[in-house]
Amino acid sequence: MSARTTAVLALVVAGWTSAVCAAPANDTLAQAKELYASAAYDEALAVLDRLQSASSVNETTSIAEYRVYCLLALDRRDEARKDIEGILHDNPQYLPPEDQASPRIQSVFRDVRRQSLPKIVMERYAIAKASFERKDPQAGPQFDSVLTLLDDPDVQASPALSDLRTVVTAFRDLTKAMAAAQTPAPMVARPFDTGTSTPPATELDSSRIYTSADLDVTPPIARTQRVPPWIPAARAIAAQDFHGTLELLVDETGAVAEATMRTSAHPAYNQLLLRATREWKFTPARRQGVPVRYLKIVDIHLKPAS
C-alpha cells in the first residue's frame, strides 16, 4: 500500500470516528419525543439514555418521564417502576401531565406513588427530625414539606401514617417557637433600673414536645408495656431477624397519645404493635419537676424463637 493510500485511509477513518463521536451531541429531547410519538420506542430510549448523562437540570424530569413512557410501551414494567421511584424521590408530588400520558401510564404512576410515598414521607420526616436535633433552622421548612406530603391522597390511604401528622405538627411548631426564642428581645430602658433585678422564672410551654436532645428532661419510664408475641406464619420468616423503630408521643399523664412506626419491623407485626401501645402506661417525663410531653423512641427486634 502506498504512502498516499495510507494517508487517505487515515483521513477517512479519522473523519468517520469524528462523525460517530459527534452524533450524540446532536441528540435532543425533541428528537426523542418525535421518536416516541412515531412508536420508535427503542430508538427513543437510546436517545434518552445518551441525553440523561449530559442533560441540564431543567430537562432531567422530562427525560426521566419519557424513559418511563418508552419502557412501559416496551413492556419493561420493572425498569419503568424503578424510574418512577427515582422521579418521586426527587419530586414526591410529581404526576405526569394528563395531556401527554395515557390513562394506563397514569395508573402505573398512581400505583407506584401509593407504594413509594409512605416510605418517602418517613425518610423526609427522619431528615427533618435530625435537623431539629442539630438545631438546624432548616428543620421548620422540612417539617412543613412533610405536612404537605401528608395531605396527598396517595399518602392519606396509608393507615401506618395516620398518627404522624400530630407529631410532625408539634415538631414544626416547636421549631418555630425555638427560632423565635433565639431572637434577642430589644433592651428597654426603665427609670431607676439598676440591672440587678431577678429575671422572671421560665414558664414551661405546655404544647412543647421534648426529646432525648433535651438533657434537662427526665425521660418517661415504662409502667405497663406489654409487647405482643411475634408468631410468624411461615417457617422461612420465623428463621429471620427483623428490626424496626417505634415512635411514641407520651403525654403529661404518661399515656401514649400517638404511636408511629418510624421504620417497619414487619408488615404483619406493625399493626399488632401499634394497637398494643394504646394500653401502655408510663411515668411521664418531667422538666423542672413538671410533667411534660415527650417523644420516645423504642427499638423493636423480632428474632427467631430459641
Which three cell numbers, joined as nine digits, stand for 296?
420516645
* Grid cell of 41 as nine digits: 420506542
The pLDDT value recorded for residue 84 is: 92
Question: Per the structure block, which three cell numbers stand in for 178?
Answer: 425555638
pTM for the model: 0.58
**pLDDT at residue number 207:** 65
Q: What is the pLDDT of residue 17?
A: 40
Residue 79 confidence (pLDDT): 93
Are 104 and 71 a contacting pair, CB within 8 Å?
A: no
Q: What is the rounded distance in angstroms from the CA atom of residue 68 to the CA atom of residue 84?
A: 7
CB atoms within 10 A of CB 192: 4
Comparing C-alpha atoms, which of 125, 131, 291 is closest to residue 208? 291
Can you give the pLDDT at residue 204? 55
Name the stretches of the chain with pLDDT < 70: 1-25, 54-58, 180-207, 235-239, 305-306
Per-residue model confidence (pLDDT) at position 264: 83
Name the grid cell of 271. 399493626
Residue closest to 242 by CA, chosen among 261, 256, 222, 221: 261
Burial 132-171 (b: 16+ CB within 10 A, else e): beeeeeebbebbbbbbebbebebbeebebbebbbebbbbb
pLDDT recorded at residue 179: 72
H-type alpha helices, the chain: 3-22, 29-37, 41-52, 60-73, 77-90, 103-133, 139-150, 153-156, 164-181, 235-238, 267-276
CA distance 109 to 95: 7
Task: Judge contact between 176 and 119, C-beta under 8 A.
Answer: no
C-alpha span between 291 and 122 (Å, rounded):
28
